[in-house]
Amino acid sequence: MKFFKDEKMMFRFFSGVILFIVFVAVFGPFLCSADPYASNMTESMLPPSAQHWFGTDKLGRDCFTRIIYGARVSLSMTLVTVLLMSCIGTLIGIIAGYCGGKVDTFLMRITDMMMAFPGIVLAIAIAGVLGGSVVNTVLALAVVGWTKYARLGRSLTLKLVQSEFIQAAVTNGTKPFALLHRHIVPNIMQMVIVTGAMDIGSMIMEIAGLSFLGFGAQPPTAEWGLMLNEGRQVMQMAPWAMIFPGLAILFVVSSFNLWGDSLRDLMDPSRSH
């Protein structure tokens, strides 16, 4: 970005933003005096004020407090989802790339079959069968999202297996497990981490989307997508109940996307030109 002198400065800036978001998610609830789940119908749909910075929703709950608590819920769901699908997908990709032959063909055909379905549609179907909940949302998205990492892990493993230092290690009698543990996994983790960092923003959007449609977090959970759905019902009378959760999603998703881009450029400076 032209606002920054180099990739390092851009990465440091957005890393600071991400640390701020994580700080709010972890410690923000301890700084909020209001109860995000306590209803007070006498304060229903109050506009933003000094007492309620982001107003209140239809049940009289403080929107600012619920957004702060929602940061913890949304980020924890997102990080667990990205961790699950990256670990599962990378493991499958490494096995396929290292073993080759029928094992590679079998695993890649399963991957191709999963990739043939639109991801969000398949996630909705899985979440619908399992039932709407935080855990089922994470499982549904992990089942859908591992294919990208399987393809990435396989391609990187194939490239490494053909390299000279791997061939030398095999000639010296290095056992397969030691080969994977010492040489292959450490050499592909950089790309896996960068890909995972770039997926965080999109996962936040998909989790919020499932909750908005009723397949994710269920009431009274303070989750941004669910708050959007609840605010939609009173949008004309209390637009702030929908505007502020939407702005929270926009800010956090944009921050993680830009942070992921800066991390990618820092790891591979040739891509920034």
Task: Write out pLDDT tens, residues 229-259.
Answer: 998 888 888 899 999 999 999 999 999 999 9
Nearest to 78 by CA among 231, 160, 191, 198: 198
| 272 band by pLDDT with thresholds 50, 70 and 90 | very low
| 177 band by pLDDT with thresholds 50, 70 and 90 | confident
Entry field: residues in the chain: 273
Q: What is the pLDDT of residues 45-54, one digit of tens each?
A: 889 988 888 9
| 4 band by pLDDT with thresholds 50, 70 and 90 | low
Mean pLDDT of 15-34: 89
The encoded tokens of residue 16 equal 């600071």
Q: What are the backbone dihedrals phi and psi of residue 226, each rounded to the nearest 5 degrees, phi first?
A: -65, -40
Beta bridge partners of 56: 62
Angle between helices 240-267 and 63-99 (to 10 degrees): 40
The encoded tokens of residue 240 equal 């702030």
Q: How far is CA 164 from CA 168, 178, 208, in A?
A: 6, 17, 46
Residue 93: is its pLDDT beyond 60?
A: yes
Q: What whole-number percentage of the chain has pLDDT above 90?
A: 42
For the domain covering 7-32+62-272, report its CATH number.
Answer: 1.10.3720.10
Mean pLDDT of 156-175: 79
Residue 217 CB neighbours (<10 A) = 28
Q: What is the pLDDT of residues 133-142, one digit of tens each?
A: 889 999 999 9
Provide the mean pLDDT of the chain: 87
Domain limits, the chain: 7-32+62-272
Q: What is the pLDDT of residues 187-227, one digit of tens each?
A: 888 889 999 999 999 999 999 999 998 888 888 888 999 99
